[in-house]
Amino acid sequence: MQVPLRPAWLALAEHARSIKHRHLRELFAADPGRFERFSLTHGRILLDYSKQRLDQQTMALLRQLAEQAGWRTWMDRMRSGEAINHTEGRAVRHADLRAGDRAPPEVKNVLGRMADFCEQIHAGTWRGFSGERITDIVNIGIGGSDLGPRMAVHALAAFEQPDLNVHFVSNLDSADLASTLTRLNPRSTLFIVASKTFTTLETMANAHTARRWVLAAADDERAIACHFVAASTNLAATAEFGIASENVFEFWDWVGGRFSLWSAIGLPIALAVGYRNFERLLAGAHDMDEHFFDAPADANLPLTLALITLWNTNFLNAHSHGVFPYSHSLALLPSHLQQLEMESNGKRANRDGLAVDYATNQILWGEAGTNGQHSFFQLLHQGSALVACDFIALGKSDFPLPGHHSGLLANCLAQSSALAFGQTVEEARAAGIPDHLLPFRRFPGNQPSTTLLLPELTPFTLGQLIALYEHKVFCLGVLWNLNSFDQWGVELGKQLAGRLAPCIRDDAATEALDASTRGLIAHLRQFRS
C-alpha cells in the first residue's frame, strides 16, 4: 500500500468516516465562531475556509500529516538549490526569480536587459525595418510560455501601456496565427519567440510563418533582427533564425515552464504594463514566498490550501475542483492553474517510481463569475457530483462603474452560501413553492468551498495570488510524495505526432500503426490539396 506517511493518513481515514456525512449547516450551528476559527489573513488577503467540510480535528490531523511528510524539510531542500526534480536532475528555483536584491546575479542581469528593452519599445527608439514605431507585440509560445503571461496581461489590463498592444499566439492551428496577423502591420509588429530549446514544434512553426510574413513586406533578411526577439537558451538556433544575440533573453533549466512567468518569459507582461509594474508583480510574489517560508503551519495560506485539497480529494472523494474568480480581469486564471496544478501533480508514480494507490490531482476547471452561474452552476447546486470550489473576489473593482461591483460581490457570496447550505423542502414550502414542485426546488447544499478575498487587483496582489497557488502545488507534491516538477506525460504525444505527421502529409507507410489510426489517416488523405 503506497499511502503517503501512513500514521496520519490512516488517522484521517478513520476521522473521515465520522465527519464526511455531517452537513455544513450542522457544523456552523455547532460552532458560532467557525468563521474566525477557519479563516486566515496575510496582509490584506483573507482566506475563508469555514465552508469546507472539516473541523478542528480534521485540521490538526492534516497538519500532522504535513509534519510527517516533512514539508519544511522539502521547502529547505528546494530553497538550498538541491535537485528535488530528481527525474531531470534539476533544482527548483523559481522563487529566486523574484527575490529582489537577493536574486542571483544572472537573474538580475536578464531583468536589467528586459528593463532596457522595455524602455526602448515604450520610448519609441526601437524601430521596425521601415523606421516605424512598434505598436504591436506578438508573443509566440505554448504551455508555460503562453498561459501565464497571457493570463497576467489580461489581468492587468487596467495598467496597460498606451499605444502598445500585446497579442498571444500558441496553437499550431493556423487559424490562431492567421487571424492575429490579419489585424497587424508587419512594419510595426515585433515578435517574441518564447521557447527554451527553440525547437518546440508549435512555437517554431508559428515563428517561421511569422518570419515569412515579415520578409514578404521587407524583402530583406536584415529586417528579422528588427522584428524578432527571443526568450531562449539556444543561441545557435536563435542566431540561425536571424535574432541578434543581444536580443535573446535567457532563462534556466531550474525554471519550469509553468513557473516561468517571472523570468524572461514574462517579457510580454513587462511590455504590456511597463517594467515598473512587472517589478511590482515580482515583489508581490516575493511577499507570498516570504510568508510561505516563515509562517507556521496553522497560519500558512499555501499549506492550508494544499491540506484542504488533499482532504477533499482523498477523504471526501471530490475529484473535480472549480476555480471561480468573480473578476473579469482574472478570467484566464483557471486556464493557468489548470496547467500549474494538473501538469505538476497529475502523476501515478511516486518519487520512488512506485505506482500510487490513492487519488492525486483533481481535475481543475473554472470560469469567471457571473458567467458560470448561467451555465454549469446548475450541476453544482443540484447535480450528483461533489465538486470543491475556490471563489476569488476583489474588495475594489479595477474598472469601477456605479452599481456593478456590489452586485458582483453579492453574487459571489450568494453562490458560496447557497452551495454550502442549500434549501430544504421545508424552506421551499415556506417560501410558497407548490408541493408538486418541491422535489425540483430542493437544494442539498454541503458543497465545500473556499473564498479568497483580495483588496484589489494590482501587479502586487496578482503576484501574491499566483505565488500562493504555486506553493500550494509544491505542498501537495510533498503530501502525495510526487515530483511536481517534471512532466513526462506531455512527451509521449509529441513523439507520436512526430511519427504520424509524415503519414498525413506524405505517403509514409502506416502498416505499423494501430487499426484506428490507420483508418483515420486513410480518410484524411482524401482532403490533401
Give CA–CA dist 284/387, Å, rounded: 30
Scan for cell 498525413, then name that residue.
Answer: 504
Q: Is the dihedral of CA 457, 461, 465, 467 positive or negative?
A: positive
Residues classed as catalytic: 343, 374, 494
Give CA–CA dist 463/100, Å, rounded: 13
Q: What is the CA radius of gyration of the chain?
A: 25
- From residue 383, alpha-carbon distances to 213, 378, 379, 444, 447 in Å are 50, 7, 4, 9, 11
Phi/psi at 56 (5° precision): -65, -35
Q: What amino acid occupies position 256?
A: G
Three-state secondary structure along 382-449? HCCCCEEEEEEEECCCCCCCCCHHHHHHHHHHHHHHHHHHCECHHHHHHCCCCHHHHHHCCECCCCCE
Report the first-to-last Cα separation within the chain, whole angstroms. 55
Phi/psi at 254 (5° precision): -85, 10
Phi/psi at 450 (5° precision): -120, 140
**6 Cβ contact list (under 8 Å, min separation 6):** none
DSSP SS3 for 355: strand
Q: What amino acid occupies position 221?
A: E
C-alpha cell at 209: 510563418
Residue 414 CB burial class (10 angstroms; 0-12, 13-18, ≥19): exposed
Q: Kindly state the helix (H) or strand (E) to which residue 364 belongs, with its residue range.
A: strand 363-366
C-alpha cell at 288: 507570498
